[in-house]
Amino acid sequence: MTLRSRLALGLVIIAAVLVVPLVVARTSMQRLHGQVRSLREGEFQASLILGRLRDALGDVRAREVALGVVKSDTVHRQLGQALTRAEALADSLDRFELDSASRRIHHDLAVVRPAAEAEFAAMRAGHAERADSISQRAVGPALRDADLALTPVEQVLRARTTNRVLEAESALVEAERISLAALVVALILAAVIALWLTRSISRPVTALEEGMRAVADGELDHALAYRTDRHDEFGRLAISFSEMSRQLAELDKLKAEYVSIASHELKTPINVILGYLQLMQEGIYGPLNEKQQHVAETIGTQARTLARLASQLLDVSRFEAGGGRIEPRTVQLANLLDELERTFHVLAVQREINFRIVRQTGLPKEVVWDPERINEVTGNLLSNAFKFTPAGGTVELTAAPADGSLVIQVRDTGAGIPPEQLPHIFEKFYQADNQRSASAKGTGLGLAIAKEIVEAHKGQIRCESSVGVGTVFTLMLPVSVQSRRRTSLQRTPITDTRS
């Protein structure tokens, strides 16, 4: 499945999952709405009709009493209207399943109407006693009986209303619980799907990022941390990444081989030039005048510089191609430091620079290093320190133990290196802007070779510097290393610890 399809499917599923709680909530609310509507159209409506019926019966009683006093057609007609309204309201109770109460009220009202007519007729005929008798024996008891019939109906409606309200409250709580549970489940499912989408995208992206960083650091055989046979965009990117790494590795190998061959081939003609110059200076081909002698010395100086550059290029190409070998052997650390002190003492006197080697307590007597290579590293660092330190300055080499390792620091009070250039000083042919402060310009290969040698010893090298204050190079080397050959083009990034 392609990345676009996966994203589209994930978004559709998330949308569908989030719609489910809405559907559940809507269904629950519709059910609750139905219960409330049933309650409104049932028990509440019946209660209202019952109240109106009680008022209507009271109106009938009042009209009947008024008829006994006034004895007019108007009151008689009003009594009939009141009876008709009470009968209509009694009929309305029929649809609320109150049959017994409705029938009883109908029966009572059926008694009241003819009795009221007989009472009115007796009054008009002047038979007051007969009218009073009809009122007391027929109309009055029928109205009281109808009124009494409303009381149990009210109690029934009250109980039914209470039950329906409780059911509605229970339905509301249930709707809230179901809706909340559906929402929680939907959110969990949406989070799981989102996490799956994020991980399915972020993992390959992170792996590609790490792969590109590794390639940038020189690890051209880096393998991506996910399957390259995926049938999506990341699978195609992985194939492209592998092809790019392969081509870069081939190019790097060709470059290293070319530099190695060129450097090696340059050494022969350079040595021939130096040999003939030496013979000319010794007078084998005849004496040289002063001007010719000066020219020969200049040619010799430049030829030796070219020979040194060819040798450095050969070293760099060997290490990069995995052919840089170190030959560790047991060496007396004190002898190694003494030799450095003797070597640079004369240079310190000539440059009028304060030079010292500080030995901290607890140093091991012996170390297992490649002494020639370590001498090359420390000699290069000391040479750079002297080159950038003016007369009256200080160059110091400090050796100190540190948890099974040895820390060597070369400190100077020279020109310093700008902070933005510190991350690049171990790159080949890179030269910082402080070259104008140097007594002699270099080739930009010394620190690159030093880094390769230190890493071949499983050590680390870093630099701290402040412009106008000085520079400190720190080597951290294990006390003992095994003979090894660098087998890959891997580069260990240099950490700039300068503040």
Cβ-based neighbour number of residue 119 at 10 Å:
26
For tokens 């060709």, what's the residue?
254
**Residue 77 Cα distances to 65, 85, 229, angstroms:** 14, 13, 100
φ, ψ dihedrals at 400, nearest 5°:
-145, 145
Question: Is 83 in contact with 110 (CB distance < 8 Å)?
Answer: no
The residue-averaged pLDDT of 102-115 equals: 78
pLDDT in tens, 400-416: 998 889 999 999 998 88
pLDDT in tens, 2-43: 667 767 777 788 787 778 777 877 787 777 777 777 777 777
Sort 42 into a burial class: Cβ within 10 Å, 0-12 / 13-18 / 19+: middle
DSSP at 101: H
For tokens 């090298």, what's the residue?
461
> What tokens appear for 340 in the block?
């450095």
**Ranges of H-type helices in 363-414:** 371-388
- Report strand pairing: 354-359 vs 394-402: parallel
Q: pTM of the entire structure?
A: 0.44
For residue 478, what pLDDT band results from cuts at 50, 70 and 90?
very high
> Among 281, 282, 319, which residue's Cα sits nearest to residue 428?
319
pLDDT in tens, 43-102: 788 788 888 888 888 888 888 788 777 777 787 788 888 888 888 887 777 677 665 666
Rounded Cα–Cα distance for residues 478 and 472 (Å): 20
The answer, yes or no, to whether residue 487 has pLDDT greater than 50, is no
401-438 b/e with 16+ CB inside 10 Å = b?
eeeeebbbbbbbbbbbbeeeebeebbebeebbebeeeb
Residues 6+ apart with CB under 8 A from 374: 336, 453, 457, 477
Q: CA-based angle 88:94:100, to the nearest 5?
A: 110
Rounded Cα–Cα distance for residues 438 and 413 (Å): 13
Instruction: Catalogue all structural domains in the chain, each as residue range(s) with its CATH number.
Output: 3-193 (1.20.120), 233-320 (1.10.287), 326-485 (3.30.565.10)
The answer, yes or no, to whether residue 138 has pLDDT greater than 70, is yes
Residue that wins the pLDDT comparison between 358 and 6: 358
Task: Name the most confidently modeled range: 33-42, 205-214, 224-233, 340-349.
Answer: 340-349
